[in-house]
Chain A
């Protein structure tokens, strides 16, 4: 769309046509448990461009392709102990609120183990009536590997996952993996490919 006319006449661009920034989007959807679904409504160019921007006021920097991401697993319902593998449902967060990961450049594995153990202890203390949490394991993978996941959109394919720097006030290493392909088959394909990537690297605590 050509906006020269508006600029020339010193009119302000109408609010409904203004492109939202990455930080603005994530701030507006901070408490939204479906923020990845909201993200799926954005054009793919915007979804990808936002990976290069800060998504949080606490952000150390956007997540680079070569950065290592760490994800730990605490919910036994998503783990098959007989095969030692995670089920695809362990990755459903990527399609709604975002799959939380930690950036290896900003936290050590030992620190993460301590955080994971504290989360287990807190869950057990406050959720006695619910299925308990336990330390299952963790996986380390490069941001580029998640970003390389594509799903078929005949006759071509498209990016399925994006990684955003969503640092928290008490956790500068926090980032989110979001599913950015919105169709049902794409979602199933993305979570399976993410599962394959993570299961290959799964290590016990």
Chain B
């Protein structure tokens, strides 16, 4: 080996940290007093569990904790089980445990990449989930036999309705088929 080549190799090994190493922007930003921007594009972000009004009513003594947004949603659904018959007027029914269980199963199967829904409870005891999206609205209502129905309406008034659906029959394509178009502006923004 020529002396010049040997010197070049030695210099290369002694060189500082390679430029391909990932810069620690977050530390630099903190040092500069700036708030680092999250790098995650996952819609299922970690959020502060600031109780929504349902939580504060049903779980008055709960202390703020940090939860996955999906887990927070599951907690809200479970909290509906605490409602008694008559909770929404004299004819209203105690929420069905089976309906809530179906909603929780649905939530477990809900794929990432789509906006998470919000929970709701009807006076006939059926748990539901709904999405207010930039392209329109969609909701799901879970019956006590654990079947569910889906309804959506775009801002231009185009409606879709499906009933007698079963959670175990769903695949990823179904979710993207019924929600993807209405949620696409939010997905792109995430």
Give the complex CA separation of A79 and B55 in angstroms: 11
Q: In the complex, A188 Cα to B137 Cα: how many Å?
A: 11
User: How far apart are the CA atoms of A75 and B161 in the complex, in Å?
Assistant: 28
Does A125 reach chain B (CB closer than 8 Å)?
Answer: no
How many A-B residue pairs have C-beta atoms within 8 angstroms? Tell me. Answer: 78
5 smallest A-B Cβ distances: which pairs? A185-B161, A81-B53, A33-B91, A188-B151, A87-B120
- Smallest Cβ-Cβ distance to B83: which chain A residue: A131
A152 at the B interface (CB under 8 A): yes
Interface-facing stretch out of B24-32, B96-104, B105-113, B122-130: B122-130
* B41 on the A face (CB < 8 A): no
> Which of B123, B153, B157 has the largest count of A CB atoms less than 10 A from its CB?
B123
Determine if A33 and B90 form an interchain contact, defined as CB atoms under 8 angstroms apart: yes
Residues on A with C-beta less than 8 A from B139 are 88, 188, 192
Is A130 on the interface with B (CB-CB < 8 A)? yes
Closest B residue by C-beta to A196: B137
Q: Closest residue of chain A to B127, judged by CB?
A: A89
Q: In the bound complex, what is the Cα–Cα distance between A85 and B118 (angstroms)?
A: 12
A97 contacts the other chain (CB 8 A): yes
Known contacts A80-B52, A132-B57; A89 and B91 CB within 8 A of each other: no
Q: Check A29 for interface membership: any CB of B closer than 8 A.
A: no
Which of A88, A93, A96, A152 gathers the greatest number of chain B CB atoms within 10 Å? A88
For the complex, is A184 an interface residue (Cβ under 8 Å from B)?
yes
The yes or no answer to B86 lying at the interface (CB within 8 A) is yes
16 further interface pairs, Cβ-Cβ under 8 Å (given A76-B53, A88-B120, A131-B82): A76-B57, A77-B87, A78-B120, A80-B52, A81-B52, A81-B53, A87-B120, A88-B130, A89-B123, A89-B128, A92-B123, A92-B124, A96-B123, A131-B57, A131-B83, A184-B149
Can you list 11 A-B contacts (CB < 8 A)?
A33-B91, A88-B128, A89-B123, A96-B123, A127-B86, A130-B87, A152-B159, A188-B139, A188-B141, A188-B149, A189-B159
Most interface-central of A87, A129, A189 (chain B CB within 10 A): A87
Range class of the B interface residue count: 35 or more
- Taken residue by residue from 173 to 205, chain A's Cβ proximity to chain B (1 for < 8 Å, 0 otherwise) reads as 000000000001100110010000000000000
- Size range of the interface on A? 20 to 34
Most B C-beta atoms less than 10 A away, residue of A79, A97, A131: A131
Q: B86 and A76: CB pair below 8 A?
A: no
Chain B residue contacts of A83, Cβ below 8 A: 132
Decide yes or no whether B84 CB sits under 8 A from chain A. Answer: yes
Residue in chain A with minimal CB distance to B161: A185
B172 to chain A, nearest CB (A): 25
Q: Which residue of B lies closest to A32 (CB)?
A: B91
Cβ of B77 within 8 Å of any chain A Cβ, yes or no, is no
A89 contact from B58, B82, B86, B120, Cβ within 8 A: B120
B34 to chain A, nearest CB (A): 27
Known A77-B57, A77-B83, A131-B58: A82·B88 in contact at CB below 8 Å: no
Complex CA–CA separation, A152 to B121 (angstroms):
25
Q: Does B145 reach chain A (CB closer than 8 Å)?
A: no
A152 to B161, CA, bound (A): 11
Closest to B60 in A: A132
Knowing A76-B57, A92-B123, the reply to whether A192 touches B163 (Cβ < 8 A) is: no
Q: Which residues of B contact A77 (CB under 8 A)?
A: 54, 57, 80, 83, 87-88, 121
Fill in one digit per residue for B32-67: 1 if any A CB lies within 8 Å of its CB, else 0.
Answer: 000000000000000000101110011000000000
- Closest A residue to B141 by CB, please name it: A188
Docked complex Cα distance between A80 and B130 (Å): 11
Interfacial chain B residues near A130, Cβ < 8 Å? 83-84, 86-87
